[in-house]
Amino acid sequence: MKTSIATVTLSGELPDKLEAIAKAGFDGVEIFENDFLAFDGSPSDVGRMARDLGLTITLFQPFRDFEGMPEGLRSRTFDRAERKFDVMQELGTGMVLVCSNVSPAALGGIDRAAADFRELGERAAKRGLKVGYEALAWGRFVNDHRDAWEIVRRADHQNVGLILDSFHSLSRKIDINSIRSIPKDKIFIVQLADAPLIDMDLLYWSRHFRNMPGEGDLPVTAFTEAIASTGYDGYFSLEIFNDQFRGGSTQAIAADGHRSLIYLADQVRRKVETPIGIAMPERAKVKGVGFVEFATSEDEADELIAILQALGFRKAAKHRSKKVSLFEQGEIRILVNVDTAGFANAAYAVHGTSAYALAIAVDDAQDAYNRALALDAEPFRQPVAEGELEFPVIRGVGGGLIYLIDDKSQLGRFSEIDFEVVATDPGTDAADAGLLRIDHIAQTVAYDEMLTWLLFYTSIFDTRKTPMVDIIDPSGVVRSQVVENESGALRLTMNGAENRRTLAGHFIAEKFGSGIQHLAFSTDDIFSTAASLRAKGFRPLHISPNYYDDIEARFGLGEDLTERLKAENILYDRDEHGEYFQLYSRTYGEGFFFEIVERRGYRGYGAANAIFRIAALKKQMRPEGVPKDAGISL
């Protein structure tokens, strides 16, 4: 696949955009006219910058309100076109994008438009240039790629072709199978954009809410399949108008765009015989979470370990060469790393005590790793002692680590190979609390990072994303989406914080970046687990009695059940599939906490309870101005 991106997609000045586009791995770039007009240099300066970075300028765009103009205005449009051609030749690009006319002065008529394009094609041919015609979804007379194709067909000029844009076709729900009959040599370039499904004015939707393929809800893959079926092998280019992208990191958005095209090509080549895309393993099937690792210090480890023990975890093993302890309960494995060397120590120095790494168990770790690298994931490696396992590792949210393990190799036996069993302290309560496995992991990120990480997970792992949910914090709104697989073996809740006054925003600000904010463990008997935890000295998060009066009436709960819930500070929810019970710890450090859940068929995550949980958590957090060593422990 030959990849390109329009400069309008990214924030920043034109030189910064070009550098980010090249660094992300794109082959080409569309120069958006406003980016050029705001640049102080000449067209040849821009062309030289692009070529020095290894980029082809795929087209210059847009040329507006051209076809079907009345006499008087018509001659002016051709004069404007000649000026565009001058700029293009200095830039060193061979194609201009002409979008369908939206001027109130425009006249309709397929033949009139075709005649205009034939003449424009003649003028372009004299300069060795090409003209691509695109149907805007809000074009006055032409807003359907089928009409645009008919105009191109009647123009019948080798220098005039069609530009197809997924947003313009899919937003109007035009039959994409109509693309399959278009000759591939008449498709001059393909522009791609996704978008969330929002019922609003097409122009406003397009100008503010487009996103990368795979980040929205439009059938961009099916659209691209239809194009691939023609044999088209030209550029696939991203043209994204998005308020979030305009204020985001230039390099991060460019990297997301390149990943989205690689992922899209992989999806298409698995369904259509096409030269686009590169060979890579299929999306990794997830079997579960192998472990979660905390980075901490000798001084702070005691408090964390005390919390784990109050939750029923026991120290099962210690690492053979590093200061890492393994705690277990059910299928859950937690590592506590106090080593003073290596990446964990660096993570602690920056973020304080934090869950900086997790292991995802997949069907084939090496295949998963190879796919991740093909999708531009950042690899990680650090030295290991002789005889110890070297995991395939990639960088994840907040720069943390994702270990990839499987049962096909020795990786699934890491606790036997890298760790040695420790004897249980005779004075330790050996009974667990009935926790079975990790139900879900909550990762808190800045809101403008959410699309990045949703695309990251869904492109590498065989997962899906759920619709976005608003989580109401007393100090603002947090946007939440879930990445999960079919079996529920992997559930990641992605929470996007927009201001630091929310619990999620406070966590990011105080931890100096995104990361895991809470772990949820499952049990098959929430009341038995609560009783066991109470006996071990666990202090649950206190929930207001008013909450229980409300849910008793709202769900029609019996008085006995309501009283049991209230006595143990357990929250309750219900959906069409079943019931959900939630028990929370108090916060540890700057907003980290644990959750225990019981699912009785329920498929959600208790979003309705979030406001009550957040309000309760914030009441017992360290107030602003109070030293961190005066924080509240569990």
What are the distances in angstroms from CA 105 to CA 67, 68, 115?
11, 9, 18
As a whole number of angstroms, the distance between CA 355 and CA 574 comes to 30
What residues pair up with 354 in beta bridges, in sequence order? 295
As a whole number of angstroms, the distance between CA 392 and CA 401 comes to 10
As a whole number of angstroms, the distance between CA 232 and CA 241 comes to 25
Are the beta carbons of 403 and 359 closer than 8 angstroms? yes
Structure tokens given for 403 = 């270990």
Asked if residue 440 belongs to a known ligand binding site, the reply is yes
As a whole number of angstroms, the distance between CA 464 and CA 466 comes to 7
Are the beta carbons of 519 and 327 closer than 8 angstroms? no
Structure tokens given for 580 = 């959900």
Kindly provide the b/e burial profile for residues 225-251, where b requires at least 16 CB atoms within 10 angstroms of the residue's own CB: bbbbbbebebbbbbbbbbebbeebbbb
What are the distances in angstroms from CA 289 to CA 514, 516, 545?
20, 14, 35
Are the beta carbons of 69 and 103 closer than 8 angstroms? yes
Asked if residue 239 belongs to a known ligand binding site, the reply is yes
Kindly provide the b/e burial profile for residues 497-531, where b requires at least 16 CB atoms within 10 angstroms of the residue's own CB: bbeeebbbbbbbbbbebbbbbbbbbbbeebbebbe
Helices (H), 520-602: 526-535, 545-555, 559-568
Residue 26, helix vs strand vs coil: coil
Structure tokens given for 521 = 């463990």
Q: What is the CA radius of gyration of the chain?
A: 28
195 Cβ neighbours under 8 A, 6+ residues apart? 167, 171, 205, 206, 209, 210, 211, 216, 217, 218
What residues pair up with 161 in beta bridges, in sequence order? 132
As a whole number of angstroms, the distance between CA 519 and CA 332 comes to 11
- Assign residue 415 a region (left: φ > 0; alpha: ψ between -120 and 50; beta: otherwise): alpha
Are the beta carbons of 166 and 261 closer than 8 angstroms? no
As a whole number of angstroms, the distance between CA 78 and CA 55 comes to 29
Are the beta carbons of 508 and 496 closer than 8 angstroms? no
Structure tokens given for 165 = 């844009």
Cis peptide before 70 (omega within 30 of 0): no
Asked if residue 518 belongs to a known ligand binding site, the reply is yes
515 Cβ neighbours under 8 A, 6+ residues apart? 351, 354, 355, 356, 397, 398, 400, 443, 444, 507
324 DSSP assignment: E
Residue 620, helix vs strand vs coil: coil
Could you list the beta-strand ranges (E) of 186-254: 187-192, 235-238
As a whole number of angstroms, the distance between CA 27 and CA 453 comes to 24
CB atoms within 10 A of CB 53: 16
Which residues sit in the known binding site for Mg(2+)?
A: 440, 518, 595
Which residues sit in the known binding site for a divalent metal cation?
A: 134, 165, 191, 239
Which residues sit in the known binding site?
A: 134, 165, 191, 239, 440, 518, 595
